[in-house]
Amino acid sequence: MGKKREAAAGDNAAQELLNERKRRFIEGDRTLWIIFTVLLVISILVVYSSTAKMAYERSSSMTTTDSLRQQIMLVVMAIPTIFIFHKIDHKVFFRATPLLYYLFVILTVATYFIGSTTNGAARWIAIGPIQFQPSEGLKILTILMLARRMESRQDTINTINLLPTSWHLRDAKQKRILTENTIPLLGPVILSCAVILPAHTSSTVLIFIVSIVMLYIGRVRLGEIVKFAFVMGACGIVLLSALSFVGVGRGDTAGGRLSVWVNEWVGSGEVDASYELSDTQRAMIAIHNGGLVGEGAGHSTSRAVVIHPESDYAYAFFVSEYGLIMALILILLYLWIFFRSIEICRQCSRAFPALMSVGLGLLITCQALLHILVQVNFIPETGQTLPLISRGGTSLLFTTAAIGMILSVSRTNQLQRIENERNKTR
């Protein structure tokens, strides 16, 4: 009788905990919720302060108040977005991924023909008064597509060949490798990189890096990954050169940025009266002016000097106002997102949610690191924004959706643990 009562009591306790979890409005990893909230608050502060120079620019039709109102509206839209996505079961994402992926491929290609052009890049599609970048959604869906394809091959993925082993592609063995491994697994990555490359080289590199890491985490043999990376790198250079030669895409822009970056590292350092600072040099000056504790919120003297302090150089502006100490904490927050996604990945019982969570966490963290490395001139200018902080509605909402998907996996893991504990007491 005693054992039956203990089992019943444990079963009731587990059921009550399960019901409580279902009644909660906010579920999933609490640390991710806190990081998300902190970054949104920082976004409002940075965008409002950095756009103060608009009041003095005659060419600008937007005031500081307009910019603040717009960013607050985007933050307000982000809040229901993350709530909705974190309540959706990851099985829904699994089923919807193929359709959404090919839809966003089509939309991304369509931007080259009917899209709006800003700063020489055609990346936006206008739907009434709203403009959005399909490539931002395609980056996320590429991660989901790769995770989906890798799950179905987990039993043999550590033994398969990703690419044909010879150039005799008509051979039955090579055809089988192409149709069963190369096209299903690597096809989405190759297709996404191909359609994004003409408009945004750095986003192509970002997708490629994240995909390589996902393949490694998914137990693909290292030799196969290295071979794929070499082939993709070579093809990317050839394609970018060809596009630049025929005057299509932003090959010239990428080449120009690389040339400026190399010159800043190996140049003689001699300047004359006509010398003009590059965008990255302006950003480094802003970082220097910030020092350890910063010039104070709203008191940065660099806002009128740094180009696009609200977007492309948001991190440099943040350092100028809040200092290096707060800037290091900001970097830790982005790294924390990745570490939490790894922990959530370890708790998963299936490959798709595990790879999806770690892939999306890596995507957000890598984008943040690419943005930051540009500010200190470690890599050439990329145009990557600072996730959840830089001004821009498409990036903010899609990054919010990505975090919502990670929280969805975390929420499912929590419910599964409760269910397992209840089964143990029976």
Q: Cβ distance 375 to 317 under 8 Å?
A: no
Q: Cβ distance 224 to 218 under 8 Å?
A: no
**Cα gap 22→10, rounded to integer Å:** 18
In the prediction, which pLDDT does 73 show? 86
Sign of torsion, CA 169 170 176 178? positive
Q: Cβ distance 21 to 27 under 8 Å?
A: yes
The one-character DSSP state at 55 is G
Could you give the angle at which helices 351-375 and 279-290 cross, rounded to 10 degrees?
90
Q: Cβ distance 66 to 310 under 8 Å?
A: no
Angle at 407 between CA 404 and CA 409, to 5 degrees: 115
For residue 382, what are its two tokens? 């990329």
Phi/psi at 299 (nearest 5 deg)? -120, 10
In the prediction, which pLDDT does 52 show? 64
Contacts of 191 (CB under 8 A, 6+ apart): 105
Extents of the domains making up the chain: 17-87+275-426
**Cα gap 311→386, rounded to integer Å:** 7
For residue 153, what are its two tokens? 């091959």
Element holding 226 (H helix, E strand): helix 222-245
In the prediction, which pLDDT does 310 show? 77
In the prediction, which pLDDT does 247 show? 59
Backbone dihedral region for residue 312 (phi beyond 0: left; psi -120 to 50: alpha; all else: beta): alpha
The one-character DSSP state at 271 is -
The one-character DSSP state at 179 is I
- pLDDT in tens for each of the 426 residues of the chain? 555 555 555 555 555 555 555 556 678 889 999 999 999 999 988 887 877 655 555 445 556 677 778 888 888 889 999 999 999 999 999 999 999 999 999 999 988 887 666 555 556 776 665 677 888 999 999 999 999 999 988 888 888 888 888 777 778 888 888 888 889 899 999 999 999 988 788 889 999 999 999 999 989 999 999 999 998 888 888 877 776 666 555 555 666 666 666 676 666 555 544 556 777 778 888 888 888 888 887 777 777 677 777 778 889 888 988 999 999 999 999 999 999 999 999 998 899 999 999 999 999 999 999 999 988 888 888 778 899 998 877 889 999 999 999 999 999 988 888 777 777 666
**Cα gap 185→162, rounded to integer Å:** 8
In the prediction, which pLDDT does 381 show? 80
pTM, 2 dp: 0.87
In the prediction, which pLDDT does 317 show? 87
For residue 359, what are its two tokens? 């892939």
**Cα gap 422→90, rounded to integer Å:** 22
The DSSP secondary structure of 158-205, one letter per residue, reads TT--SS-SSS-TTSHHHHHHIIIIIIIIIHHHHHHHHHHTTT-HHHHH
In the prediction, which pLDDT does 152 show? 85
Tokens 């996320």 -> residue? 140
